Amino acid sequence: MDPVRNPYAPGAGQRPPELAGRDRELQQFEVVLERVARGRPERSMIVTGLRGVGKTVLLNTFRSMAMQRLWGTGKIEARPDQSIRRPVASALHMAVRELAPRHRAPDRIEEFLGVLKAFAQAGPEDKSGKARVHRWSPGIDVPAARGRADSGDLEIDLTELFVDAASVATDVGSGIALFVDEMQDIPADDVSALCAACHELSQSGGPLIVVGAGLPHLPAVLSASKSYSERLFRYARIDRLDRESADLALLAPAEREEVTFTPDALDALYSAADGYPYFVQAYAKVVWDVAPGTPITAEDIRVAAPEAESELAVGFFGSRYERATPAERDYMRAMAQLGDEPVATSSVAQELGRKPSSLSPARDGLIKKGLVFSAERGLVAFTVPHFGKFLRAQPA
C-alpha cells in the first residue's frame, strides 16, 4: 500500500501513531502532577524496562502532559562518564525560560539565572586538565551570582539550585519537571547527589520533580546509592504489550487510513513481534508497504517477515552488537547459549571454560555499553529483548 500513508514508526524515541497499553502509567503521572501542583507530598516516577518497550516515548509523553499544564520542563539524556551538572543546567534553563514570561518580577528570574550560571561553571576540572578553558555559559546573559549553588560539590549545588528553581515555579503558581532518560548511566557520584537533592526537595515540598527512565536495574542502582531512594520514587516497570494493546497499536492507526487486518494477520503479527513495541512498529511498517490492499492478511505478514527481520537485525540488534569488543561478543554468545532467562555469571564462565574473575572486564564493559544488566546479584541478562535469539542465529 501507499508508503506515504504508512503510519507506523519504528525507531528509538519515535512517537508511535497510537500509544497503546500505557493508560495506567499516564493516569499515575496525571496524579503526580496534580498532587505536586497542590503542594501535596508526592513521590516522583521512574519508568523502567528493557530496550524498545517505549520508555523514551512515555517520558516524552509525560513531558507533554506537564507542558500542557504550563509547567516548565527540561530533559537530559545521561551518559556514562559525563557529569550531569551541565546538562541539568541547560535543562533547567529551558524550564525556567518557559515560566519566565508569566513571572511578575523579572529580577527574580535574572537572579535565578545568575545562580544557574554559577552552578554550570562550578564543575570540577575536566579530565583533560584543561580546567575552565572553555568556561561554558549556556547563553545566559546575566553575570554569574556568587555564593549559591557554586561550591563545586554537586550534592550541595543541586540542592540549592532545585530549591531556587522550585521557588520560581511557586511564584508563577506552577511546577518544574526535569526528565532524565537513560538514568542508569549517570555516574555513581552524580546519582547520589541527585537522590540527595530530590530528598531535600521532597521535604521542602517545592514543586519540582525529577522523572526518570532507565533499564530494569535502575531501582537497584538508586538504592545502592541512597537507601531512601525507594521511598523517593514510584517505579513503573513497563513491558511487552498484552495482546489487546498490541492489536490496538496496529489497528488504530490503520483504521484512521481506512485499512484493517484480518484476525489471522493479527495472530501472526503477535507471534512475530511478541508484543514488544519496537518490534510491533518494525513489522507493521514493512507489512504495510508489502500488502497489496486492505485487509492486511497473514500471507502479507509471511511475505514481509524476512525484510522486517533483516531490518531489525541491522538496525536494532546489529547496531548494538557492533559496539562490543571481541571478548564481549564471546561473553554474549555464551550467555545466548544458556537460554533466554537471566543467567548466572558463573555459568557463563563455565560455558567459556574460564575463571569467573577473568571475565569481569567483559561483563563490566557490556554493562557500561548498556547491552547487559545485572538482574540480581550474580545474574546477567540482555537489555535487548530477543537478543539471545538474534545471536544464536548468527554464524559463529
Ligand X SMILES: Nc1ncnc2c1ncn2[C@@H]1O[C@H](COP(=O)(O)OP(=O)(O)O)[C@@H](O)[C@H]1O
Binding status of residue 179 toward ligand X by CB under 6 A? no
Residue 341 DSSP SS3: coil
Binding status of residue 334 toward ligand X by CB under 6 A? no
Q: What is the DSSP string of 284-321?
A: HHHHHHH--SSSB-HHHHHHHHHHHHHHHIIIIIIHHH
Helix, strand, coil percent values for the chain (each to nearest 5): 55, 10, 35
Number of helices followed by number of strands (H, E) in the chain: 17, 8
Residue 240 interacts with which of ligand X, Mg ion, none, CB < 5 to 8 Å by class: none
Query: Which secondary structure element, helix H or strand E, spans residue 47, and what is its range?
Result: strand 44-48
Which residue lies nearer to ligand X by CB, 108 or 369? 369
> CA-CA distance, 54 to 276, in Å (whole number)?
9
Which residue lies nearer to Mg ion by CB, 207 or 214? 214
Nearest-approach distance from CB 208 to ligand X, in angstroms: 24
| Among 6, 48, 281, 347, interactor with ligand X by CB under 6 A | 281
Binding status of residue 9 toward ligand X by CB under 6 A? yes
Binding status of residue 19 toward ligand X by CB under 6 A? yes
Binding status of residue 54 toward ligand X by CB under 6 A? yes
Crossing angle between the packed helical segments 85-99 and 154-171, to the nearest 10 degrees? 10
Which residue lies nearer to ligand X by CB, 17 or 388? 17
Nearest-approach distance from CB 105 to ligand X, in angstroms: 39
Question: How far is residue 52 from each of residues 55, 188, 221, 321, 344, measured CA to CA in Å?
Answer: 8, 25, 20, 15, 24
327-386 binders of Mg ion (CB under 5 A): none
Nearest-approach distance from CB 49 to ligand X, in angstroms: 6
Nearest-approach distance from CB 321 to ligand X, in angstroms: 16
> CA-CA distance, 9 to 60, in Å (whole number)?
15
Binding status of residue 316 toward ligand X by CB under 6 A? no
Binding status of residue 273 toward ligand X by CB under 6 A? no
Binding status of residue 202 toward ligand X by CB under 6 A? no
Nearest to 17 by CA among 26, 27, 25, 7: 7
37-66 binders of Mg ion (CB under 5 A): 55-56
Nearest-approach distance from CB 146 to ligand X, in angstroms: 40
Nearest-approach distance from CB 156 to Mg ion, in angstroms: 31
Binding status of residue 51 toward ligand X by CB under 6 A? yes
Which residue lies nearer to Mg ion by CB, 48 or 56? 56
Residue 393 DSSP SS3: coil
Task: Pull the grid cell for residue 354.
Answer: 574460564
Binding status of residue 14 toward ligand X by CB under 6 A? yes
Give φ, ψ of 310 to 5 degrees.
-75, -30
List of residues contacting ligand X (CB under 6 A): 9-14, 16, 19-22, 49, 51-57, 249, 277-278, 280-281
List of residues contacting Mg ion (CB under 5 A): 55-56
